[in-house]
Structure 1
Amino acid sequence: MNLQQQLAEYLGVLNPTHLEIINESVNHGGYYPGKESHFKVIIVSQVFHGMRAVQRHQKVYSSVHNLLAVDGGSIHALALHTYSENEWNGHVPKSPECAHAPKKLNKIRL
């Protein structure tokens, strides 16, 4: 089971009504095919109702802490977008570019 699948399994305890896990590792320095180190998670759950953003993130972190690099796992970065059901509008926030992302070559036409 890959990390993305493990994240989905661990986050299942929060009973999400919507869950998207996007592997963004390709956008970061040191990427190689198959690398799983940077993820964006969009999760909608009624569990988050009435919670502040920090509390929601703490809830997610406590569910997935075994997968995080700080606890011996392999995930280096986890961008969290947490919503209660009445807040979710279907919009997935765009991720910022990484300063260490592989640079795209500019093609010059003559």
Structure 2
Amino acid sequence: MATEIESRLRLALNPSHLLVINDSDQHAGHAGHDGSGESHFTVELVSTAFVDRSRVERQRMVNEALKELLAERVHALRIRALAPGE
């Protein structure tokens, strides 16, 4: 799943920095944890696509790039989206 998230974000937003962290083990036994070990993620990315965009707009851009995964396979996604130099 992390590889698929990375691939989709690279294609959609061409980040200069991208880190995908699987946080699923921290949520064992909580709602939304499906036992697959691939349900909760953090993404940190830097992209020129985020220049002059609000935090909400940036999150929407990431969510749009991952919409199928978020609808079907990923329960939670924490996003840290920055423009270069931030």
Within-5 A mapping of 1:33-52: 34-52=36-54
Aligned-residue Cα RMSD (Å) equals: 1.5
> In 2, are the aligned partners of 1:48 and 1:82 still within 8 Å (CA)?
yes
4+ long deviations beyond 3 Å: 31-34
Pairwise mapping of residues 49-60 of structure 1 onto structure 2 (< 5 A)? 49-60=51-62
Larger radius of gyration: 1
Q: Would you say the 8 A contact 2:44–2:79 is kept in 1?
A: yes
Whose helix fraction is larger, Structure 1's or Structure 2's? 2
Instruction: Give CA deviations for 1:8-65 in whole Å, capped at 9, x if unaligned.
Output: 0110120000000000000013368751000000010010000000000000111000
1:9 lines up with 2:11 in the alignment: no
1:7 aligned counterpart, secondary structure: helix
**Unaligned stretches of 5+ residues in structure 1:** 88-110
The structure with the largest strand share of the pair is 2
Match of 1:108 in 2: none
Distance in 2 of aligned mates of 1:32 and 1:10: 22
Q: Which runs of 5+ in 2 are unaligned?
A: none
Equivalent-residue separation in structure 2 for 1:35 and 1:29 (angstroms):
8
TM-score scaled to structure 1, two decimals? 0.70
